[in-house]
Amino acid sequence: MEGLVKGLLDVALGGDDDDRNQRQEDGTDERSRSTSWAQVVSGEEDHEQNNRRSEGGDSGRNQNLGSESDESRRPQKIANEGYEDGRQGGYNQSQPEAEDGWETVGKKPPRRHQQVRKDNWDNFKRPASEQEYSNEVEDNSQLEPTQTELNDLGKACNKLWELDYNRLTPGKDYEIDCGEGKKSYQKQDMAEGSLFTWLSEDVLTKPTISRFCSLLDNYNPHEGYKEQVTSQEKQEQAAFIEEICRTAPIKYLYKYLCAKGVVSGDYQEFKGLLTSLWFDLYGRGGTSSCSSAFEHVFVGEIKNRGEQSVSGFHNWLQFYMEEAKGRVDYQGYIFPRRRGETPDLETQLLTLQFEWNGVLKSVSSTMIGVSPEFEIALYTLCFYMGGEDNYVELGPYYVNIKCYRLGNKLGSAFPIAES
């Protein structure tokens, strides 16, 4: 009866493709299953329609974004609240946060309070040329793509996994509690606590991770509201790109794209390409300059067309930070599409369900513990050298890296576990 009522409501309200695709999955062929699942995971069912639009990406899109009066109750850029130097915090059951119009979930305190050191974050806003960076990884044969890797995108992606020297180790650098499993259309909370039990204090001080985290609060997460990028935020972006370009995954990516003729031998040109791909603003949801690849893939966005939903948000660091602030409520993992092992403490590719500021993401996927430079390199490589579906092996995981384009922009990218 519940399913019947929900189905009738779906029809009356325009449908819930996420849940419907999951329920119908068993009756479709393999390719249709992959596409349907990707639409569920991404929250971007309209990508195919958007791909047929012009590269400007704005004309002809849905303009129904709500009245102007709604803007006053929606947050602008999120401040760094909940994280203060010298103080353990983020989650405070007795005094939950509720700033800038955001709702604090606040019902699942982590088992161990974390301290996020932000004392260097202000320095990241200085001109990139005035900042201090980590030493560059030395060039060696490992950074040179082999002919086999140049001929096989899957092997190149797996090489990036091997070169991710900053990937964390489960049980040593962090611990997760996956809770219980569920189907994507099931709404009951199957997790008694937070996803992250603890994170080693030195993790967020690692150069690329700390710079990545400092970028996460630069965005208005509501789709359709124009972003205002300050000069300091542009300097944060430039410094982040400079930092990751000293790492092995990005150096390998550069050599790969050079060999394929995507970029010249000018490393500064390559840095500009990364900056443009990930941080240039474009239109989404009917408004120009309101989104970017970085915001969508890593930070996440709230879709306000029809029933609110979360799209993007595929990064474990963003999940950890928002969970610590009380804005994310982990709801449990999603059962694998094929019968197999269930996730555990060692899992580094997880399909899960959560609420972000009270808005449900019925299915999401994230690689836990990987470095920012690895994800940037992986998704950039698939964008330039792959297609929409990129079936690869990443260490022990068989993965489909979905890569959606909005004209010549990166609309979304995320992993789907294939087994």
Interval 74-103: pLDDT, tens:
333 333 333 333 333 333 333 334 444 444
pLDDT > 70 fraction of the chain, expressed in percent and rounded: 70
What single string gives the DSSP state of each residue in 168-185?
Answer: --BTTTEEE----EE-TT
Choice among 47, 159, 251, 296 that is catalytic: 296
Does 29 score more than 70 pLDDT?
no
Told to judge if 361 belongs to the known catalytic residues of this protein, a careful annotator would answer yes
Q: Are 378 and 154 in contact (CB under 8 A)?
A: no
Using DSSP's 3-state secondary structure scheme, residue 309 falls into: strand
What gap in Å lies between CA 341 and CA 401, rounded to an integer?
A: 20
Looking at residue 139, the DSSP 8-state letter turns out to be P
Choice among 314, 325, 402, 409 that is catalytic: 314
CA angle 228, 233, 235 (to 5 degrees): 140
Average pLDDT over residues 186-207: 91
pLDDT > 90 fraction of the chain, expressed in percent and rounded: 54
pLDDT digits (tens, 9 = 90+) for 285-310: 888 889 999 999 999 999 887 788 99
Q: Which two tokens stand for residue 180?
A: 């219980």
What gap in Å lies between CA 220 and CA 77, rounded to an integer?
A: 5
Q: Which residues contact 308 (CB under 8 A, 6 or more apart)?
A: 302, 359
Structural element, H or E, at residue 410 = strand 409-417
Q: What is the pLDDT of residue 341?
A: 67
What gap in Å lies between CA 329 and CA 307, rounded to an integer?
A: 19
What single string gives the DSSP state of each residue in 363-380?
Answer: EEEEETT--HHHHHHHHH
- Among residues 182, 181, 188, the alpha carbon closest in space to that of 355 is found at 188
Told to judge if 296 belongs to the known catalytic residues of this protein, a careful annotator would answer yes
pLDDT digits (tens, 9 = 90+) for 377-418: 999 999 999 999 999 999 999 999 999 999 899 999 999 988
Q: What is the pTM of this model?
A: 0.76
Q: What is the pLDDT of residue 315?
A: 97
pLDDT digits (tens, 9 = 90+) for 307-333: 889 999 999 999 999 999 999 999 999
Structural element, H or E, at residue 31 = helix 30-42
HEC string of 54-95 equals CCCCCCCCCCCCCCHHHHHHCCCCCCCCCCCCCCCCCCCCCC
How many CA atoms are closer than 13 Å to the CA of 365, on its beta-carbon side?
A: 23
Q: Report the chain's C-alpha Rg in angstroms.
A: 21
Cα–Cα distances in angstroms (integers) from residue 385 to residues 38, 169, 256, 408, in the given order? 20, 29, 10, 13
Q: What is the pLDDT of residue 19?
A: 37
Average pLDDT over residues 356-364: 92
Q: In the predicted model, what is the mean pLDDT of the chain?
A: 78
Q: Which residues contact 292 (CB under 8 A, 6 or more apart)?
A: 227, 278, 279, 280, 281, 282
Q: What is the pLDDT of residue 340?
A: 59
Choice among 159, 361, 402, 409 that is catalytic: 361
